[in-house]
């Protein structure tokens, strides 16, 4: 349910560039003009620049370049993602909180975001370096209508959505199977999908996304500087995180809608177009073996397709890939 503050932000946004009278806002929101004034002061405390002129009303001159629930609601144009936002300045892990909220019944599309994580989670229990003010650390609660067999495909679909968003910003990112986004041979973003399900029914999926945005090289831990990157490192410019978040949410909605209506086939086709190192040799590590093969892409269910030395294609559902330099 929309809060009064969210509704106020949307009314101001609809009249962006113009003054809106306190009486009009009072009538629209069903609260007193004194309450409107208090909400405006709260927005100013959050960094909004607001002109208040007698007999003309209020005008938002500029929204702040920072993450908060208010700034994330400003110019939000999604159908279901982010309509409920939980924002924390600092948290151990957005994924942990989102899973707890999902267990308590949090709605489809709820997003947990943090400016800083102290125990950010990656795949296979790895940590994710998540300092304040530099990245996008968020987890999305999804309550899908498809079954557990299709859940792994959601990670691949989310990778397509993220890569679409980057490319719309002129960033030639690529997907590394199954859940990483790479830029110039280094890791830019990661996706973590965790599910609560029964044999034939998914209670919820929590889709965690971590993206390095404004880190400088010195901000990255020394042990990952040769493996990881950020948008700032690659472009030498500062990025507005809330604008990227909105774009990513729109692309996630678009891909999810297409996937649920048309299935995985077209998502797979786009994934193949965005894949990194297609047709190149890779080192493959599975729970039972380590071997080299040629990466052929993904199959109809999202499984890994590999051409082995005997020329036969092998399908693998769980593995780690390491690129072999040629």
Q: Count other Cβ atoms within 10 Å, centred on residue 54.
A: 6
- Asked if residue 187 belongs to a known ligand binding site, the reply is yes
The closest alpha carbon to 80, from 136, 10, 142, belongs to 142
Give the span between the Cα atoms of 231 and 181, in whole angstroms.
Answer: 12
Residue 186 marked ligand-binding:
no
CA 315 to chain centre: 29
pTM for the full model?
Answer: 0.84
Q: Give me the residue spans of the domains in the chain.
A: 4-62, 69-274, 280-323
3-state secondary structure 61-79: EECCCCCCHHHHHCCCCCC
Residue 134: which of 241, 42, 59, 224 has the closest Cα?
A: 241
Pick the CATH number of 69-274 from 3.90.1170.50, 3.30.930.10, 3.30.413.10, 3.40.50.300: 3.30.930.10
Question: Looking at 169-223, which runs of residues are DSSP E strands?
Answer: 174-176, 180-183, 186-197, 202-212
Query: Kindly report the CA angle at 88 between 84 and 92, in degrees rounded to 5?
Result: 120
CATH fold, domain 4-62, is Arc Repressor Mutant, subunit A (1.10.10)
pLDDT of residue 48: 87
**Is 302 exposed, middle or buried (CB count within 10 Å of its CB: 0-12, 13-18, 19+)?**
buried
- What CATH class is the domain 280-323? mainly beta
Per-position pLDDT tens, the chain of length 326: 458 888 898 898 888 889 999 999 999 999 999 999 999 998 988 888 999 999 899 998 887 778 888 889 888 999 999 999 999 999 999 999 999 999 999 999 999 999 999 988 776 666 778 889 999 999 999 999 898 988 889 999 999 999 999 999 999 999 998 889 999 999 999 999 999 999 889 999 999 999 999 999 999 999 899 999 999 999 999 999 999 999 999 999 999 999 999 999 989 999 999 999 899 999 999 989 999 999 999 999 999 999 988 889 999 988 988 888 76
Prior bond of 232 cis (ω within 30°):
no
Name the residue among 265, 72, 249, 77 with its Cα closest to residue 161.
Answer: 249
d(CA 119, CA 2): 30
Let me know: does 242 contact 111? Beta carbons within 8 Å.
Answer: no
The rounded distance, in Å, linking the Cα atoms of 191 and 155 is 7
């Amino acid at each position: 349910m929309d809060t009064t503050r969210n509704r106020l932000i949307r009314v101001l946004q609809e009249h962006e560039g113009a003054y809106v009278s306190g009486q009009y806002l009072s009538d629209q929101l069903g609260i007193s003009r004194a309450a409107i004034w208090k909400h405006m002061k709260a927005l100013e405390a959050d960094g909004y620049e607001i002109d208040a002129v007698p007999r003309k009303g209020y005008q938002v001159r500029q929204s702040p370049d920072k993450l908060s629930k208010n700034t994330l609601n400003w110019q939000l144009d999604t159908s279901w993602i982010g309509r409920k936002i939980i924002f924390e300045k600092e948290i151990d892990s957005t994924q942990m909180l989102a899973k707890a909220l999902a267990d308590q019944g949090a709605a489809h599309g709820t997003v947990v975001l943090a400016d800083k994580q102290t125990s950010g989670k990656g795949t296979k229990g790895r940590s994710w370096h998540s300092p304040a003010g530099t990245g996008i650390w968020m987890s999305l609660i999804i309550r899908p209508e498809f079954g557990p067999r299709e859940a792994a495909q959601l990670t691949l679909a989310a990778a397509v959505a993220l890569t679409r968003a980057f490319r719309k910003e002129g960033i030639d990112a690529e997907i590394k199977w199954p859940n990483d986004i790479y830029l110039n041979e280094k890791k830019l973003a990661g996706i973590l999908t965790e599910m609560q399900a029964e044999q034939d029914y998914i209670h919820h999926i929590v889709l965690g996304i971590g993206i390095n945005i404004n880190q400088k090289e010195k901000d990255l831990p020394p042990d990952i500087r040769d493996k990881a990157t950020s948008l700032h490192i690659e472009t030498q410019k500062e990025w507005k995180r809330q604008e990227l978040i909105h774009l990513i949410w729109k692309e996630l909605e678009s891909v999810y809608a297409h996937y649920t209506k048309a299935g995985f086939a077209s998502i797979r086709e786009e994934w193949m177009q965005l894949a990194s190192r297609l047709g190149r040799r890779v080192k493959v590590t599975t729970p039972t073996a380590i071997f080299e093969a040629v990466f052929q892409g993904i199959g109809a269910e999202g499984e890994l397709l590999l051409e082995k030395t005997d020329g036969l294609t092998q399908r693998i559902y769980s593995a780690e890939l390491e690129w072999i330099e040629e």
